[in-house]
Structure formats: structure tokens, C-alpha cells
């Protein structure tokens, strides 16, 4: 009797272990290629920056690091196809680092578009594709995503991979809020929505208005 009871307990334990392994395998399988790519990208980007980072805002003193970029679209808005960041200073900038195969980037883009449509005269919104440096898509993927979501705000790419380190891109997407004088107001790691965009740019717009020299 004792032997039979022990056997039943052993069989039950073995079945539970098997079920646990099955659930674990299903969980990893459910991540999919895109999910795994985002996880890998966050790990890689964290190693570039030397810290782990976290979702949300981070006040950071300092000035922008200049780099060159080429626009996919928005040339008529910014005045040229090839530009440097220093050339577009003068009013608040929302500098969004994104990629064509980044699900959180895709999720926030409609809100960025809505923000652009309501604030483009007060704020410069610029999306920079860094997919080639993060393993999250090619330039073609980036162009296709812009077209699919009918995004019209200025967006392009850079060939300078050091921007990932210089701008502390520790997750995707990462957005840097820049004052008109080139000082960094805040860096946001993770997805944005319209409320957050308005909340973070409000003080920048107010400050720019106060500092504007009357004509």
C-alpha cells in the first residue's frame, strides 16, 4: 500500500514537472520574433550605454550632440534633405529614435502624428530610424512603416551609429526633448502618448515664448 501511494506521488510530481516545462516552452514561443528582437535590442543598447535604464522620463543636464541625418520625408518642413541637428535648433525639438520592426515604436506613432498636427508650428518633431544599429529593421522597413501608418512628420535616418550611445538610447523607442538653445530638457525611454507629449513639451513651449525677443 505504501509503495503504491509513493508511486502515485512520484507520477504526479513527474506530470507536474512536464506541464511546467510545456508552459515555459509555450511562453517563449509566444514571444515571437518581434518580441525577442525588442528584448535583445534593449540588452544590447543597455550594454552600449553602461546602464540599465527604465521606462519613463529622466531629467538630464547637458547639451545635444550634433550629428548628421538624411530625411525620408519632411524636407519641405525642415528646409533640406540632409541636415545636422544644430541646424534645426531655435525652437523646442522632440527627437524620437525608432525602428521599422519595433512594436512599441509602431504603437506610439499615431500619437506622435496627432501631436505633430497640433503643435508643428511650435515644436519640431523629428523621427530618426536607428534600426540598423539595434537589429530592429532596415531603412526599407522604416519607410514601409511610415507609409503604412500614413505618418507625415519629418523622419529620416543617420549613418552615425554613435548616436545610440551619445543620446543614451537604452530602450526602443527613446525620445529626447530639447530646448531651443540645445540643452536637453528630458529623455524618455519607452512609448509615448499624446498626454505625455503635451505635458513634457508644455514647459518648453512656455519658456521659448518668454525668451522670444519682441519684434
User: What confidence score (pLDDT) does residue 25 get?
Assistant: 39
pLDDT grade for 112, boundaries at 50, 70 and 90: very high
User: What confidence score (pLDDT) does residue 129 get?
Assistant: 99
Q: State the average pLDDT over residues 74-86.
A: 98
What percent of the chain is modeled with pLDDT above 90? 67
The answer to whether the CB of 90 falls within 8 A of the CB of 180 is yes
User: What confidence score (pLDDT) does residue 77 get?
Assistant: 97
User: What confidence score (pLDDT) does residue 22 get?
Assistant: 42
Distance CA 40, CA 45 (A): 9
The answer to whether the CB of 41 falls within 8 A of the CB of 134 is yes
The CATH number corresponding to 56-211 among 3.40.30.10, 3.40.50.300, 3.10.450.50, 3.20.20.70 equals: 3.40.30.10
pTM, two decimal places: 0.75
Helices (H), 50-102: 75-78
User: What confidence score (pLDDT) does residue 60 get?
Assistant: 55
User: What confidence score (pLDDT) does residue 50 get?
Assistant: 35
Distance CA 212, CA 215 (A): 9
Q: State the average pLDDT over residues 24-51.
A: 39
User: What confidence score (pLDDT) does residue 30 get?
Assistant: 37
Look at residue 150 and tell me whether its pLDDT is greater than 90. Answer: yes
Look at residue 65 and tell me whether its pLDDT is greater than 50. Answer: yes
User: What confidence score (pLDDT) does residue 211 get?
Assistant: 82
- Residue spans of the domains in the chain: they are 56-211
Q: What is the mean pLDDT of the chain?
A: 82
Least confident of 53-67, 113-127, 132-146: 53-67
Amino acid at each position: 500500500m505504501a509503495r503504491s501511494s509513493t508511486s502515485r506521488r512520484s507520477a504526479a510530481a513527474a506530470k507536474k514537472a512536464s506541464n511546467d516545462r510545456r508552459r515555459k516552452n509555450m511562453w517563449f514561443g509566444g514571444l515571437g520574433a518581434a518580441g525577442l528582437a525588442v528584448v535583445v535590442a534593449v540588452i544590447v543598447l543597455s550594454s552600449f550605454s553602461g546602464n540599465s535604464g527604465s521606462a519613463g522620463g529622466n531629467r538630464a543636464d547637458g547639451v545635444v550632440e550634433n550629428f548628421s541625418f538624411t530625411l525620408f520625408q519632411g524636407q519641405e518642413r525642415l528646409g533640406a534633405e540632409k541636415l545636422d541637428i544644430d541646424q534645426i535648433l531655435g525652437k523646442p525639438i522632440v527627437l524620437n529614435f525608432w525602428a521599422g520592426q519595433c512594436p512599441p515604436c509602431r504603437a506610439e506613432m499615431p500619437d506622435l502624428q496627432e501631436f505633430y498636427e497640433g503643435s508643428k508650428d511650435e515644436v519640431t518633431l523629428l523621427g530618426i530610424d536607428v534600426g540598423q544599429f539595434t537589429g530592429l529593421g532596415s531603412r526599407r522597413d522604416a519607410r514601409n512603416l511610415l507609409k503604412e501608418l500614413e505618418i507625415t512628420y519629418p523622419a529620416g535616418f543617420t549613418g552615425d551609429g554613435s548616436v545610440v550611445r551619445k543620446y543614451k538610447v537604452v530602450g526602443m523607442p527613446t525620445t529626447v526633448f530639447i530646448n531651443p538653445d540645445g540643452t536637453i530638457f528630458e529623455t524618455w525611454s519607452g512609448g509615448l502618448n499624446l498626454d505625455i507629449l503635451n505635458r513634457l513639451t508644455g514647459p518648453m513651449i512656455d519658456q521659448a515664448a518668454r525668451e522670444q525677443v519682441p519684434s
